[in-house]
Amino acid sequence: MTSIEQIRGKEHAPQGGRRRVLTQRLRAARFAPLLAALALAIAPTTARADQAVSAAVLNTYFQNDHAEWVPTSDAERRRMTAMVDTFKLMLEKSGRYSFKPVDPAIQERITKDQKMGECGGCELGYGKEVGVDQVAWIEVQKVSELILNLNVYMADVKTGKQVFVKSVDLRGNNDESWQHSIKFLVRRYMLHPEQYTQTDSKS
């Protein structure tokens, strides 16, 4: 409701002031549709840029070159599980990836199938079943108690191409060396490669 004071104020307001207010309102009304259109155009792009890549770790492999003499231990199996957990946690914390669990029924088939990456593209089919953009599998080769090798593979489910392949060495077969290797690989080659490139170029 308009008060008497407000009416009187308008009656006594300078003509120039009313013209300026009217001009500002007309300008705002003129640009409002344009601003709204720009907001709608920008919003979907921002949402797409912020989306994390959905991924799943399909399987892990431990190649013990001397299993007939030194069988794979429970400690090594636990280290493999902990390594995968660290791998997923680091990438999810970066905001670049979101990992989905693999259904037990699908996991059973994967375990019985040929090795991922050597099965004629079966990893891509499993990726479609899980419903992810990329699939990963991790292998550790134990040459000896002092020399081990960590390998990480990732493939794009849609294109069928491997998007990441990297290998690093482990020195020592213990919890610390396994964790150090996966953390180094993720930081060095996946999250912050530019930092290491700059360091390398200076040395």
Span 178-201, pLDDT tens digits: 999 999 999 999 998 887 765 443
Which two three-digit tokens encode residue 22? 């009217």
Residue 52 — left, alpha, or beta (φ > 0 → left; ψ -120 to 50 → alpha)? beta
Same domain (yes/no): 108, 168: yes
* Domain assignment of residue 134, given as a range: 52-202
Q: Report pLDDT digits (tens) over 81-101.
A: 999 999 999 999 999 999 999
Same domain (yes/no): 186, 141: yes
Same domain (yes/no): 124, 93: yes
Is residue 148 classed exposed, middle or buried when 0-12, 13-18 and 19+ CB atoms within 10 A define those classes? buried
Q: What is the pLDDT of residue 23?
A: 52
Same domain (yes/no): 45, 95: no
Q: Report pLDDT digits (tens) over 156-173.
A: 999 999 999 999 999 999
Better pLDDT: 135 or 11: 135
